[in-house]
Amino acid sequence: MANSVVVVGTQWGDEGKGKIVDLLTDKADVVARFQGGHNAGHTLVIGDTKTVLHLVPSGILRPEVECLIGNGVVLAPDALIKETQILESSGIDVKSRLFISEACPLILSYHCLLDQAREKAKGDKAIGTTGRGIGPAYEDKVARRSVRAGDLLNSDRLFQKLEAAVDIHNFVLEERFNENPVDLQQLYDQCLGFAEQLSGQITDVTGKLLADQAANKKVMFEGAQGMMLDVDHGTYPFVTSSNTIAACAASGTGVSPLGLGEIVGITKAYTTRVGAGPFPTELFDEVGKRLGQRGHEFGATTGRPRRCGWLDLVALKRSVQVNGVTALCITKLDIIDGLDEIKVCTSYQYKGSQRFAPPYAADDFAACEPVYESLPGWNQATEGLTDYEQLPVETKQYLGFIEEYLDTPIKIISTGPERDQTIVLEHPFD
C-alpha cells in the first residue's frame, strides 16, 4: 500500500494535474502543495460546476481531506484570501481545513510591480511571465530577505522586514524602471489585515505532515507547472522560478525523500505550452488550431491561448527519468479523436545529427527539428469512456507506443474534463 503519492506535470504545465489530484483524493487524507505560486491554475469540473484553483490544493473539494500549503510555495496573501472567499461562498469549508507553512515566502505588491516592469523593459525579449511577482519573490527567498507567512504573526518583526525590503525594491523601481515607489505604511497596514484573516491557518506544516505520515495517513503531494518549466531542468531561461520536479515534494514541504512513494506523471496526449520559449513539435496548421479549439487550450490563470503540437516523447522521456515517474496518466485523449494520422516525436535532428535527449539551453532547443513517427488515428469517440476495453484498437496502439518508448506503465487515462470521465487501470494508493 502506497501511503504517499506525488503528482507532477511532465511537460510545460497545463497537463490536467488538478483533475487527477481531485480524482485520486477519494483515497487520500491529506493534499500538500509543494512549489509554485498563484501563477498556476488547476481547473476542476464536477457535474455542472467548474472550479479554478490557484493556491488552494485541489483536494479542497473533498470535505474530509486536509489541505496544506508547503514552504516551497510563494504565497500571495490577497490572492489566497480572495480564492478562499470564492470557495466559501459556494459552501466549501476552507479555513478549518487549509493550513499554511509559516516558512512560506510572501508575494507582496513590490514583487508584482518589479515583475511587470522587467517584462515591459525586455520588450520582444520578454519571457512571458504572468506578471504576478513569482520570480521576484523567489529571488528574495534566496537573497534571504523574504517576508514569510510566520512574520505576519509578529508585528514588530513584520515592520522591520518590510522596511528593509521596501528600501531595496523602491530603489530599483524608481531608479531603474522609473516606476512609482511602494508606500511602506500602506503596505504594512495591508499586511496587518492579511494577518488578521490568515493567522489561524499559519502553522508548522512540516510537523503536521510528519505526524500524518507517522499515523499512516495517505498523503498526496501536488506540484504546479511541469518539468520542462523547472528552473534547472527546463528550457532555461523560458522557465518558472522554482523547481517543479518530484524531488521537490520533499524540500517544498519538509518531509524526507524516503517518505515519497508512487510518482504519478501527468501528460497530455499531445503537447502544449504557454508563453515564449522553444517548442519543437509546435503546429501552425489546421491540426494545431483544432487541438487548441477542441481542447479549450487557454491558460486557467491568464486566459492566454496555449501553443499546441504533437506529443514530444524525447522531452517526455527525460521528464520521466528526472522525476522518477512510476506511473503515467494520459489526459485529454478524447481531443485527438477523429484524426486520420497522429504523429509523435521520437528524436531530434540537431546540427546534422540525431539526438535523443533535449539540450540544456533554450537556443539549442529551438534549433532542434523533430523527427516523427506516424501512427493511425481513430474515428470512434473516446470521450467519457471508463473501460479500457471500450477503446478503439488504434487508441490502444497509440498508448502502447507511448508506454514502450518511455518504459513506464500508463495507469490512468482521462477521457474528458469531469471527475468520472476517467479510466483507472490501477489506483496509485492501492
CA-closest candidate to residue 106, choices 188, 170, 21, 46: 188
Helices marked H in 244-357 — which ranges? 248-251, 286-294, 313-323
Distances (CA, A) of 115 to 107, 172, 377: 11, 12, 43
DSSP states of 228-269 as a string?
A: GG-TTTSSTTSS-SS--STTHHHHTTT--GGG--EEEEEEES
HEC readout, 114-146: HHHHHHHHHHHHCCCCCCCCHHHHHHHHHCCCC
Which 3 state secondary structure label does DSSP give 345? Answer: strand
Compute how many other C-beta atoms are within 10 angstroms of the C-beta atom of residue 79.
18
DSSP assignment letter at 340: S
Active-site pick, 22, 29, 38, 42: 42
φ/ψ (deg, to 5) at 202: -85, 125
Active-site pick, 14, 115, 312, 337: 14
296 noted as active-site residue? no
42 noted as active-site residue? yes
Asked if the bond preceding 237 is cis, omega within 30° of 0, the reply is yes
Positions marked active-site: 14, 42
